Structure 1
Amino acid sequence: MAKRTGRPRSQLPTCYYEGYLEKKSFKDKTSGKLWTCLCGNSLFFFNDKRDTDYVEKLDLSGFMSITDDCTQDRNLDAARINLQMKDGNIKFTAPNAEARELWKGFIHSVAELSLPTSLNLLPGQLHMLREAVEQEKERRKSVPPPVTDSSPYVSLKANKPACYQDVSRMEAELLLDREAARGNLLLRPGGGNGNSFAVTTRQDLDGAVFRHYRVTCQHEGGFSIDVDNPVPCGSLHDVIDYLVGKTNGVLIPLTFEGTYERQISFICSDSENGEKSVQQAPSNLEPPSLPPKPVSRIATPEAAPAVVEEEDLYLNVQLEEKERETVDSTEVPPPPPKRAVMPPVSAACKWLSSTSAPSSSRDQKMRLLTEASGQIPLATISELKLKLEQKAMCLE
């Protein structure tokens, strides 16, 4: 099988599942074991697992059903699959029954955006299918719509070469005749049902000689130049590259590369006479200044010492309050107050009754009794005061 030059594997859509499959369709005379990758809504086939360029592509937009093929295979472990498309039936052979169930599940989930209900899969494998459906839904939201409804095989403008012109056969000949200095080959829409393209060339041999080549879209993906020996190509870019390469560069794609200004200019009116003239902007324009960076919530001491001191002070107050609350919450009992050592009540009464000190000493004794009122019973205090007053009256 010829190797087609397509997009590198790294540029393909998200790969949901991959593995070896033997493929055989109504066009294939023999089956071949290919490394198959389900990327987006297409199957990409590679000769080997390490290859970066795919050899064939199968778009699943024409998917109808996928079922088991019960015919026997020489390898008893192998399991066959029937993939029914709108334009034909394709047979695959998986290495084993488990791989067959996974391929059926992934192809059905991606093509229909729904989980199949009649598969024998584990909960973890069903979770993988569910994730593939969600990823494919998000991917399709980001894919631009097709350029035209009549050309489903080319959905992106980037897939068309720069020499593509939306002109008819007659307009293509007139355009190549008028722009002979720019190129002598262009790609244009083909006739028929709109699913084909055409290449028109112009060369000089005793006058202008025009040639038209039909380029058709293949059901399995890619394109083909319809000549005696059809030339398969992976993309429209490959079609142009093939024609240029096979003619040793005699055919040159027609492109309209516009010129661009090298200086910035503007039209300015004179304030005195109102005449307009073209002015050149100075070439040493400074780039716009960047906006100031937002001030950090915690300033450094060098940047704002006053703010830091105030913030530190506030933080210290908060820390002191927190420490006080912590101490209060622990409910540590205060130390017991120191009590004055007082003589026994009987000794005090004897001391007051037997003392014949002057009035100053009596006043001092009365003050001592008042200070000791917290440690002596109230009745005893009253008795002592009464005896002290009687003693004083006797002395007087």
Structure 2
Amino acid sequence: MSHNLRVVHKRRQTITSLPLYFSGDLKKKRSKDKDFKAYHVELRGNSLFFYEDETQETYVEKLELSQLKSMQLDSSHKKKEATVFRLSLLKEELHLKMKDADTGEQWRGYILTMAKREVPSKLDLLPGQIKELEEALIQEKRRVSQHSRPVLPPRPAFLKAESVTDSPAPSISTKLGKPECFYNVTRKEAEQMLEENPQNGGIILRPSTVPNNYALTLRQPAKSGHVTKHYRVTSTQSGFVIELDTAVTVSSLNEVIEYFSEKTDFRIHPYTASQTYDTRIEMMPIPPHTSKSIPRAQVAPMVHSQSKDELDLHAEKFPSGEYIYPDDHRPPEQNLKLVQQDSDFKKAISKRRENLYATCDGGNIEITSQQAERRLSGMAEWTSTSSTA
């Protein structure tokens, strides 16, 4: 029996990840309850963990002493009678009953010491018991200092107060997220999902009946058919504890799923709801193209007839007796000037011939005259040719 209790205490230490300062049996009653209910209670850190009995490994309720406002005696202080304390919390009030006054005084000393972070000045305890209180307080302060964040330096005055706000640190499940196989279903609903849809997987993670904890439902093949099993996953400050014969602690819910997948040789995969997909690509018919006809105006071509005045104007531009060169694109007046220049050129040649005859003498006259006539005849031929053209 003692060996089993040691195993239970070790499992509780793994699940809570908190040091044990004090433990014992007591009864608890909330304001809405009529009678007290017996529990085995452990003071770990600054929290009270309630167990149904001494052999239970997982707590059923947790009470944080940081919410304690006051603790008052609610019965006559007699050593042989049960002692009842009334605890006023931030949101509720409850009563704790101890079997006698000595046990009640010990519980009062530990609860107030962890809640106020100091040993009460008025305690009816032995010196050795007070020494244990002081040692537990030193250990708790050391634990809190290791996990607390460093104090931030004062902010400058020119910074706005709303620029930086202190928000509570997210929980592990919120920071790391939940696996795809997590469903908010009951134990019976999880069994039904795995049985009706085995092709979707065999592992479902779901909420536990214990607050802030989880349960894992696993369906695996066996010789006689399929077997469905359920496992408890406890949330702690250091991570998540899979409650097996040998407890396994992991840092996230995703690692919980990975652990079960590895232990089943990846033959069982997480449950994922099936989704329908199309297997054919169908072309939609092209709608007929309807073109809109744009109305067009029909206009008859305009015929311009030349008036008599316009014909007379053209006649005046080209008087009779003058040459017209149809291939020349220059204006007619310039063509007429060329004809006049040609006649002037002929006159200049004949005058030059006369001067040439008058200046020549001796035997050179005949030769010079012959050459001059040849040159002049050549120039005349060129001039007549250009004129004819």
State the TM-score, normalized to the length of structure 1: 0.39
> Which protein has the larger Cα radius of gyration, Structure 1 or Structure 2?
2
State the TM-score, normalized to the length of structure 2: 0.40
Query: More helix per residue: 1 or 2?
Result: 2
